[in-house]
Structure 1
């Protein structure tokens, strides 16, 4: 079970929520910005220097922003536009793709509730709708869970998905070195990764008690890659308990540690709680990508994070088993739900 302290209760309505956010949010961003340019260009000493920056970020806040990452800005814009196109469809068209037992497809507004996290008590259903895509190894994109009336949508989504896959793989050596492991240590555990891409729409909302666009939680992933959003709404909680706004850095990705890496590092790398809102008068879109190791990977401390004479902080568990538990907690994919979606 994820071990998380209690979170901050939500406000009663939109004006009070704005006041609560202002009172609860630190004014100075604390997310470090890491330039991947020298590392990706193969400059001598860059891998070690970049890994040291990444280590510090993950041991102190669990979030970082990467720039010069190699993903074209035009592709990111295409992905955001595809997300908006999908959610602009009539509800019936989206419900025809209701999420299936493989967790691919559409979840409507208030169709999920964050139950796996103890950060906030009595969460109400999340005020967002989302379209989930998954691809595994050579089976990339082999699914019929695609919208029928959106020419070009599938192609854009898969190109963006492929770019995220490649970026995640390029980051793995840095994470290994940051944990004092050989650069290729994660490679055999991540050659059949369990990944996911989510196109999310946060409509304007008047948030009541315990209501959020996405309730306070910590991700389950190894890492999450989130393209910067022009409409603010992402907040994270620092180790001292303050909620801060994620700063907007042009042409960047916010990267955060998930529960898988937190457990794998025996708690050394922090998986920081975060939450999302849309307090703007218009729509807000998000296109997070989630990277997990191979489903059969056993989450037990990596060699450099084992403490002699001490038991691991978390009981060993495979990535696949952990994700199955998470899906059941938050989306209720029971046998009945699978049958209804068939």
Structure 2
């Protein structure tokens, strides 16, 4: 990663306590976020609300979780596609993950913990719940800035009330000598917003607006904020979905990652303020969960390009 590419990568500080709505620092961050999401669909947030202690704790319990027997992990079932346990899916052989649906509620974290550890595991439950609440707060700050930037603040509260959060805990093992190093293919997420956080092991790559691949340098305070397909549809194609992939090397250690994905319980539709001559209406109102099932059953999921347009395009 040379200095030229570094200069183009949007790193936005959202950890400053002075980041109050209406201040110069707020406006600067707000405008930078909108520009990044419109141009390439992602940015890196520096966010210190997740302490180093909590960072270490959540990755310690993530490792403990993914070391559980296969017979235990397969109990993580969910009727929504890709919300439960995933292992050795198609050609993605290096990836394994579990999901906690509606994870910002203590009940969901407790139910998941009791499923994995019938004898109980308070440290896991407390770490997961504390972590996802803080990352959801980051997502909500980002969305507040986006709504404000577009002049549609009046819709923000109902948007957040409809939001639900999936916490995925992921493991990427290192490839064997002759095994494919592509641990997760290039893709966009079907979420509204995705926030990725990881341990020290490299592997995540993000596609820039120029079409190059940026190798993400992880740190405990760095969170990758990515717009999903649902966000693109809601914004009437103003915001781009962020393409990303994972490539593991033979000398890598095991890579652990956390993904906090926002979805919507209510119907999503393009705000009328985002429809004009330059951006005529591109999407009909749609149900987010139904879109997940459509994607899961569609042959287009192998390419993914424009699938939400197929689902609810005008």
Q: What TM-score do the two structures reach when normalised by structure 2?
A: 0.81
Task: Indicate which of 151, 157, 167 corresponds to 1:197.
Answer: 167
Counterpart CA distance in 2 for 1:142 and 1:169 is 20
Task: Indicate which of 95, 99, 102 corresponds to 1:132.
Answer: 99
Counterpart CA distance in 1 for 2:110 and 2:43 is 33
Residue in 2 that maps onto 1:271: 241
- Residues 248-274 of structure 1, C-alpha deviations (whole Å, 9 max, x = no match): 345121111111111111111111211
Q: What TM-score do the two structures reach when normalised by structure 1?
A: 0.75
> What's the offset of the Cα at 1:46?
3.0
**Alignment check: 8 A CA contact 1:257 1:271 kept:** yes
Residue in 2 that maps onto 1:34: 12
Check if 1:58 corresponds to 2:43: no
> What's the offset of the Cα at 1:82?
1.2
Q: Which runs of 5+ in 2 are unaligned?
A: 302-314
- Residues 220-254 of structure 1, C-alpha deviations (whole Å, 9 max, x = no match): 12211112431110112223322221233451211
Say how many residue pairs are matched.
292
> What's the offset of the Cα at 1:138?
6.0
**Alignment check: 8 A CA contact 2:95 2:184 kept:** yes
TM-aligned CA distance change 1:82 to 1:238, over 3 Å:
same
Task: Indicate which of 275, 279, 294 corresponds to 1:325.
Answer: 294
Equivalent residues in 2 for 1:140-179, closer than 5 Å: 140-141=107-108, 144-145=111-112, 146-148=115-117, 151-152=121-122, 153-178=124-149
2:116 partner SS: coil
Counterpart CA distance in 1 for 2:230 and 2:289 is 11
1:130 partner SS: strand
Equivalent residues in 2 for 1:163-312, closer than 5 Å: 163-178=134-149, 180-206=150-176, 212-279=182-249, 280-292=251-263, 294-299=264-269, 301-308=270-277, 311-312=280-281
Q: Which runs of 5+ in 1 are unaligned?
A: 1-21, 114-123, 331-342
Counterpart CA distance in 2 for 1:226 and 1:304 is 30
Structure with the bigger percentage of helix: 2
Counterpart CA distance in 2 for 1:222 and 1:160 is 19
1:198 partner SS: strand
TM-aligned CA distance change 1:289 to 1:138, over 3 Å:
closer
Counterpart CA distance in 2 for 1:185 and 1:237 is 30
Counterpart CA distance in 2 for 1:26 and 1:126 is 34
TM-aligned CA distance change 1:291 to 1:69, over 3 Å:
farther
**Alignment check: 8 A CA contact 1:137 1:193 kept:** no
Name the Cα RMSD after superposition: 3.1
TM-aligned CA distance change 1:241 to 1:138, over 3 Å:
closer
Counterpart CA distance in 2 for 1:207 and 1:224 is 32
Check if 1:90 corresponds to 2:69: yes
Counterpart CA distance in 1 for 2:209 and 2:4 is 15
Residue in 2 that maps onto 1:117: none
